[in-house]
Structures are given as structure tokens and as C-alpha cells.
């Protein structure tokens, strides 16, 4: 039987040709290679290396017995905690009714595109799942050009050029900062300029601020301050609280977009129903914060900053062109200076580059083609997360509490990252 021509096995054309999520794919491949006894340094999946704060874990244990279906939009007390958190951090005046809870911000983004019929505007490079989600739903995707000399960041001018030809066309703009994959962020002036263009064309602006709390200097600012009526803030627990597997995300809506929030809740009621009850109860503790959470964030930022600066310096010294990260745990190096030497080994794409690097050295990173670039763009994303987060926090808050962190700390806290840079440097020099 030919299942390709059998209607019982018809495949949605919007899914055909789409590979599993690149970050999850590299993680599964890395784990398989490790299970075969190979030494794999996992710099592919962007999973926080830090443990969930102890008090938050305690709250989860305390509420493990909670088994009821919760309201579709989320537990009221959690929504109140998130509203208070946003109001503290962003000096806003949102209420609990403006908050929608979901099983990860990834799921919320998906149902946003189901609820709102509009083109998706994505700066290139961007996180690996934005465009595939739009393709699955059947939305048009427009990649917005950015440039390395501007830290791969969207400019108001480029946004205006894309929108001006059809001013009334419905669109969703996704702005993610600090950025996955670059680690770079925006200045106040840049945010204000983009906000003015978004307002001019009445864009729905999804501000993906999942890495906001791991801005190295703790100075993240939401574009919602400048375009409050059209901005949805997206955040969660996965990146700043180390709770990726818990799957708790949240969207904070302006009152002007309440009908969109309600439409998403209808879709949620017919799909995932509600987010896990114990996780929601524990989330209250995380978003309420406290001195212990503040200290956890302070030390996390110190650790990520020194490691990011170390990795940036090592990659630059190798001959890669790479922007200095300002937050998150990513770098986006360009290896085009090695193109001639790579071509001689029949390595002509970023996919081939990463595959050869993995096979020859055991260092797993992701190709630029997964982030919106043409295959021959010899860039890659590196997630500097293969280190013991719990031990690094203990060191940073203990032996290194009263001193600036440097290479000595990196060597002690992140030996596998040092090893990865040594292996990559030797491999590039051998070309």
C-alpha cells in the first residue's frame, strides 16, 4: 500500500518538510552520542544551567497534592503575583485580569497566531520556533533584515520600510531581547523608535522578554513602556528561574487587547485546558520574589556575564566575528573568515560546519540556518550552558563573593566550556 496516496494517511501540507525543533533535535542527538560513550560538550540547547531556587522548589513540593483543573486563564493568585511583578519591574499599572497563563510561552505564542490573523514579522536572526509555528498555522512570515555591525538588531527604519507598502495589513512583530541567539539587547532610544513605528502601523507587538531577568546588569526595560496599548509581554520561569521543564509561561496584555486575550483563552479551553496546578501554585513564590530570589539573580548574572565575556574573547581570538553578549547565555559567531579553508574540506554551509565540528571534536552547536539565514552563511549559535550551575552559584556567592570574577573563576566553575573553546580553536587551526 502506498500511504502517500492514501487519504487515511494524508499529512497536513503545512507540516510537511518541517523538521523537529532544532534545539530539541541537537539535545536529543547530543544525549544519544553521550549514551554511546562519546564525550559531548552540549552547547546546543539553551537550557538554564542553574537550579530552581530552593524556596520555589519547596513551594512545588508543598502543592504537589493540588489536582484540580484551574481556570483557563490561570490561577487568580498567580495572575496577581505576575501583575505585581511586572508593575514593580516595569513601573506599569496592569491588573491580574491582564495576565494569561499557559504551559510555556511557546504554547502561548502558537495560540496567539491561531487567534490573530496576521503576518508574522521576525528580525533575522531569531529563535528557531517562531517561523515554523507560523508555517504550521499557515501564516506568512517576513524576515526583517538586520546587520552584524548593529549587533543583529532591528532598526525602526527597516521596520518602517516593510510596513509602509501596505499600511493597514494586520501584522504581529516579535521582538526578543536579550536575544536568542545573539545575547544582545536594545537601548532605550532604539526601543522608543521601534515603538513609534509599531504605533504608526498599529502592529501587535509581542515582546519576548523571557531573558529579561538575566540581563547581565539587571537593567532590562520593556518596550511596553513606550507602546503600552499594542504590546504583549511574554515571560515565564524557564530562563531566569531555571525551570524550563516545568512549562509555565505568561502573556501580559494591555486592556486594549482584551478581546485577543479572550480569544486565546477560548482556544486554550479546547486544547490544553489549563496549566499544571502544582506548577502554578509554585509560580506564585517565584514571581513574588524576595531577598533570596534577588541574591539568586545577582549571582546568576555575575556568572553568566563573566562566562559570556570569556567565551566572546576566546572566539574573537580564534578569528570569528562575534558580538559581545549583554544578557542571556548565547553567542552568535560568524566563521566566514575560514570560508576558503572550510571549502577545501567541502564544508560550505553552516549545517556542514556544525556537523563536522560535532563529529571531530564533540562540541555541539547550532547552525545559523536554523535562525533564519541562508545555508551558506557560516554562522552558528553557541549556548554557554554546559557547566554546573549550582556549583557556580555556590562559588560566586562564597569564595568569589568579594572579588571580581575572571578567568580563574571560569576555569573552576566551567571547565567544560574552557575545554570546548580549546577543542574548537585546535579544530579551526587544523583546517
Q: What are phi and psi of 386, to 5 degrees?
A: -85, 70
d(CA 87, CA 309) in angstroms, rounded, equals 31
pLDDT at site 1: 44
Side-chain-side CA neighbours of 172 within 13 Å: the count stands at 27
Class of domain 18-47+292-430 as given by CATH = alpha beta
State pLDDT tens for residues 273-293. 999 999 999 999 999 999 999
- The Cβ of residue 202 has, within 10 Å, a number of other Cβ atoms equal to 14
Per-residue pLDDT of the chain (431 residues; tens, 9 = 90+): 444 555 554 555 555 555 555 556 666 777 787 788 788 899 988 899 999 999 999 999 999 999 999 999 999 999 999 999 999 999 899 999 999 999 999 999 999 999 998 999 999 999 888 988 988 888 999 999 999 999 999 999 999 999 998 999 999 999 999 999 999 999 999 999 999 999 999 999 999 999 999 999 999 999 999 999 999 999 999 999 999 999 999 999 999 999 999 999 999 999 999 999 999 999 999 999 999 999 999 999 999 999 999 999 999 999 999 999 999 999 999 999 999 999 999 999 999 999 999 989 999 999 999 999 999 999 999 999 999 999 999 999 998 988 999 999 999 999 999 999 999 999 999 99
pLDDT at site 353: 94
Q: Tell me the C-alpha to C-alpha distance, in Å, between residue 367 and each of 91, 205, 348, 373, 422.
A: 38, 27, 12, 9, 20
CATH 3.40.640.10 fits 54-288, yes or no: yes
For residues 363 and 41, the answer to whether their CB atoms sit within 8 Å is yes
d(CA 370, CA 389) in angstroms, rounded, equals 27
pLDDT at site 207: 97
All structural domains of the chain with their residue ranges: 18-47+292-430, 54-288
pLDDT at site 26: 66
Which cell is 367 given? 547552525
Return all residues near 268 (Cβ < 8 A) that are at least 6 apart: 72, 73, 100, 102, 111, 274
pTM: 0.92
pLDDT at site 399: 87
Amino acid at each position: 500500500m502506498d500511504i502517500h496516496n492514501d487519504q487515511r494517511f494524508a499529512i497536513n501540507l503545512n507540516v510537511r518538510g518541517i523538521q523537529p525543533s532544532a534545539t530539541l533535535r541537537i539535545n536529543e542527538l547530543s544525549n544519544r552520542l553521550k549514551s554511546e560513550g562519546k564525550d559531548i560538550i552540549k552547547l546546543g540547547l539553551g537550557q538554564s544551567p542553574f537550579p530552581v531556587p530552593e524556596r520555589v522548589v519547596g513551594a512545588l513540593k508543598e502543592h504537589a497534592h493540588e489536582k484540580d483543573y484551574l481556570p483557563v486563564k490561570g490561577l487568580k493568585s498567580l495572575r496577581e503575583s505576575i501583575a505585581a511583578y511586572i508593575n514593580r519591574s516595569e513601573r506599569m499599572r496592569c491588573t491580574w485580569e491582564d495576565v494569561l497563563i499557559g504551559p510555556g510561552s511557546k504554547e502561548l505564542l502558537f495560540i496567539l497566531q491561531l487567534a490573530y490573523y496576521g503576518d508574522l514579522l521576525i528580525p533575522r536572526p531569531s529563535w528557531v520556533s517562531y517561523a515554523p509555528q507560523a508555517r504550521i498555522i499557515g501564516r506568512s512570515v517576513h524576515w526583517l533584515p538586520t546587520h552584524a555591525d548593529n549587533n543583529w538588531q532591528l532598526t525602526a527604519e527597516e521596520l518602517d520600510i516593510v510596513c509602509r507598502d501596505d499600511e493597514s495589513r494586520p501584522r504581529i512583530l516579535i521582538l526578543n531581547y536579550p536575544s536568542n541567539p545573539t545575547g544582545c539587547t536594545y537601548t532605550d532610544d532604539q526601543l522608543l523608535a521601534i515603538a513609534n513605528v509599531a504605533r504608526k502601523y498599529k502592529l501587535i507587538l509581542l515582546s519576548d522578554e523571557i531573558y529579561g531577568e538575566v540581563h547581565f546588569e539587571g537593567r532590562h526595560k520593556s518596550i511596553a513602556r513606550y507602546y503600552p496599548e499594542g504590546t504583549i509581554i511574554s515571560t515565564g520561569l524557564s530562563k531566569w528561574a531555571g525551570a524550563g521543564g516545568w512549562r509555565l509561561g505568561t502573556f501580559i496584555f494591555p486592556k486594549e487587547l482584551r478581546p485577543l486575550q479572550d480569544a486565546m483563552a477560548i482556544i486554550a479551553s479546547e486544547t490544553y485546558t489549563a496549566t499544571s496546578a502544582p506548577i502554578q501554585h509554585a509560580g506564585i513564590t517565584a514571581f513574588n520574589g524576595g531577598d533570596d530570589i534577588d541574591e539568586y539573580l545577582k549571582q546568576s548574572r555575575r556568572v553568566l556575564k563573566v562566562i559570556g565575556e570569556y567565551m566572546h574573547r576566546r572566539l574573537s581570538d580564534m578569528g570569528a566575528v562575534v558580538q559581545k553578549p549583554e544578557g542571556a547565555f548565547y553567542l552568535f559567531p560568524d566563521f566566514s573568515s575560514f570560508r576558503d579553508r572550510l571549502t577545501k574540506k567541502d564544508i560550505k554551509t553552516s549545517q556542514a560546519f556544525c556537523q563536522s565540528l560535532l563529529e571531530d571534536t564533540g562540541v555541539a552547536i547550532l547552525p545559523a540556518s536554523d535562525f533564519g539565514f541562508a545555508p551558506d552563511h557560516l554562522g552558528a549559535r553557541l549556548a554557554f550552558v554546559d557547566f554546573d550551575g549550582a556549583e557556580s552559584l555556590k562559588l560566586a556567592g562564597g569564595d568569589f563573593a568579594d572579588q571580581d570574577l575572571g578567568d580563574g573563576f571560569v576555569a573552576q566553575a566551567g571547565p567544560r566550556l574552557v575545554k570546548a573553546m580549546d577543542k574548537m580553536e585546535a579544530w579551526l587551526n587544523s583546517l
